[in-house]
Amino acid sequence: MKTFELTPIDSRKSFYKKCRVEIKNNISTLISYDTKVAQYNHKTNEIKILKGFDSWTSKTTNRHINAFLSYYGFDTCSKKELSNYNK
């Protein structure tokens, strides 16, 4: 398994070790604080926001998800639009 820290896409310098990505078996998993919140499938090129995080996220977790989306070449979105990644 490979792990790396994700960097912000806004003016912040760092997420201060609160946001990381774990890659295993062609799946990248975003971990915000200590919770898995999103996954990217390298084979199908699809992003999935994990259950519950498409309807509720903190501002910080939403920033983490947007950095994850941007890292993998997807459009960033508002909290309201997160559920579009599960359709």
Tokens of 64: 């983490």
Report the number of distinct structural domains present in the chain: 1
Bridge partners of 31, per DSSP, are: 20, 36
Range(s) of the domain holding residue 26: 2-86
- For 16-20, the CB contacts below 8 A with 24+ separation are 18/60, 18/64, 19/64, 19/67
- The pTM assigned to this predicted structure is 0.91
Tens digit of each residue's pLDDT (9 = 90 or more) over 21-64: 999 999 999 999 999 999 999 999 999 988 776 666 788 888 99
How does 51-68 read in b/e, with b if 16+ C-beta sit within 10 Å?
eebbeebeeebbbbbbbb
